Structure 1
Amino acid sequence: MNHISLEIFQVVAEEMSVVKAARRLGRVQSNVTTRIQQLEEELNAQLFIRENKKIRLSPQGKKFLVYSKKILSLAEEARQSLHPGEPNGVLTLGSMESTAASRLPEPLAAFSRACPGVQLRLNTGPTRQLTDKVLMSELDCALVSLPRGENGEILCPENLNYHPLYIENLRLVLPVAMAGVKTVGDIREGQLATFAKGCTYREIAVGLLSQTSGSGESIQIQEVNSYHAMFACVASGTAMCVLPQSVLDLLPLPEGLTILPAGMAITQLVWRQDFSSPGFDQLLSVLQGASDITP
């Protein structure tokens, strides 16, 4: 079992297609197939289930994928540690959609200028999914909004460090049809356009509507994949949404919408306690420089 075989296995697992994996890796299809077969023979385990010209990970393949990502991540970290003065290699960063849109363009441009040898890969998603990926070494670090407990304490998983970076003032945006609403407490029913479960802003919105108006059970959830789709639902009059003011500032505002305060959230950078690399250290420094939270 070598480094190249693990990389090939990981790409095939991500693409769920040998043809697509071969194209992405710049290899011929037969070579990718042979590498996977050799790896399965070496492990004495079936990593993929093949049926009707399609493949999917077997239970053993899913388990092995977790370990292979950890091995590759550790190998990359070890390689970079030998050249601490020269940030290079791959750094995988996760981010909430809102942060990627409103907070990252300038800092990532500055990071690219400071570390031209680092290949930064950006993935977006809700907080819980991103946090899980950091824990599983699928991401090196991520910008998330960690949930809070009943006493207001930040709930950070074990084995993770976090650093607060941005304060987000949340806004509840109501469609034209709800123009008569003056406070959140006036809302009795409606539809909330939001991201999938695991989004901290979704939890805040549902909790706010439930606590202030008792309407939590009357609020229907419409899941969307982007803030543009979310805002389109509001503009069309079919739903309300909660989003940060920093994102709202980037969007065109149709006339007649009602915007109400919906609380505050903190964006943190999270990373594994055992993770370190020159590229990550530089990224953290750049993000700290763009932070609106005073140390």
Structure 2
Amino acid sequence: MEFKDLEIFQLVAEKGTLTAAANELNYVQSNITSRIRKLEAEMNTPLFNRHRRGMSLTPEGKKLLTYSKKILLLTEEMKNAVQTNKEPSGKLEIGTVETVIHLPKILSSYIKKYKDVDLSVFTGVTETLVADVLHHKLDGAFITEMDIHPDLLSHEVFQEELVLISDTHVSTIEEVKEEPILCFSKGCGYRARLAEWYKDQNITPKKIMEFGTLETILRSTAMGLGVAFVPKSEVKQMEKEGLIQFHKVPEQYSKIKTVFIRRADTYLTPTIEKFIETIEANK
């Protein structure tokens, strides 16, 4: 069995057709077909169901896909491990929650210094980002600190203070409790902290409204749509301009850390190592 056979197998599984896989690899379709048949012969079992719409994995094919991903990942790590003097290069895929205040500075410093790195940044809520790092979909991610999974390592980035904000017409904490909560989807660390405080206060939110971006949450709050629990650094100027007002929440709920996570069992490549050094330099 050759590594290339596994790569082709994975691509056919992803694309769903031999034609799409052949186009992606710039191969003739007959080459792809013969490689798949060879792999099925070696495994002594059909790996794909063939139908009019294309190809889908058999139960045995799904099992092989799991092992194939692990094998190819270890192969890539093996190559990186023996190239210890290699300058940072290649793809680096990083996830982040929306409110990492130092992120533009970190990314700018890194990209300017390591021009051979193809850096991509994806946003999401903490729980989703953790899952993506665990499943090797991301090389690392900036998240709100939580109980870190044993397969992950974390590097502290900075500590943040969260504030409960409303428009200027909501004056008391009792009025705040009656307002709808404006927040990100479930899995957001800020939302989890606010929910913890509400639970400890025996408060049941009247309504929860989910939004996709921080900017929309802030604008909607200023317009009187509800209240939000957000980093103070993001809303200081809005408060100075009289667009919103702050409401005090006990420190045990409002103090929160942002950390950078990565898998503990993957080889620390120069590309990710230098990224962590850039984080440390820009705290």
TM above 0.5: yes
The alignment's TM-score, normalised by the length of structure 2, stands at 0.77
Measure how far apart 1:200 and its partner are.
1.0
Q: Is the 8 A contact 1:173 1:242 kept in 2?
A: yes
The letter for the 1-side match of 2:162 is: L
2:234 is equivalent to residue 247 of structure 1: yes
Once the 2 structures are TM-superposed, how far is the Cα of residue 75 of structure 1 from its aligned partner? 2.8
Instruction: Output one character per residue of 1:153-189: Cα deviation in whole Å (capped at 9) or x when no partner.
Output: xx1111211111111111222135xx23333x55332
Give the 3 Å change call, closer, same or farther, for CA 160–238 of structure 1 in structure 2.
Answer: same
Higher Rg: 2
Q: Which moved more, 1:190-199 or 1:28-37?
A: 28-37
Kindly provide the amino acid, as one letter, of the partner of residue 122 in structure 1: V
Distance 1:235 1:36 in 2: 60
What is the aligned partner in structure 1 of residue 262 from structure 2? Answer: 271
CA contact (8 A) 1:189 1:219 kept: yes
Q: Are residues 156 and 28 of structure 1, via their aligned partners in 2, closer, same or farther at CA, if it must alter by over 3 Å?
A: same
- Between the aligned partners of 1:254 and 1:17, the Cα distance in structure 2 is 57
| Structure 2 residue matching 1:98: 3-state secondary structure | coil
Q: In the superposition, relative to structure 1, how do residues 162 and 124 fare at CA in structure 2: closer, same or farther (>3 Å)?
A: same
TM-score of the aligned structures, taking structure 1 as reference length: 0.74
Return closer, same or farther for 1:280/1:50 CA change in 2, 3 Å cut-off.
Answer: farther
Contact 1:49–1:58 under 8 Å retained in 2: no
Give the count of matched residue pairs: 275
What's the Cα RMSD here? 3.8
2:89 equivalent in structure 1: 88
**1:175 counterpart = 2:167:** yes
Distance in 1, matches of 2:238 and 2:32, equals 47
2:20 and 2:248 map into 1 onto residues whose CA distance is 46
CA contact (8 A) 1:165 1:267 kept: yes
Aligned equivalents of 1:31, 1:129: Cα separation in 2? 39
Aligned counterpart, 2:131: 132
- Match of residue 193 from structure 2: 204
Task: Write the distance in 2 (CA, Å) between the matches of 1:46 and 1:95.
Answer: 36
Distance in 2 (CA, whole Å) between partners of 1:4 and 1:249 is: 54
Question: How big is each residue's C-alpha offset from its partner over 1:4-34, in whole Å with a ceiling of 9 and x where there is no partner?
Answer: 55556666777778888777x4747958974
Aligned residue for 2:121? 122
Structure 2: tracts of 5 or more residues without a match: none
Report the identity percentage.
25
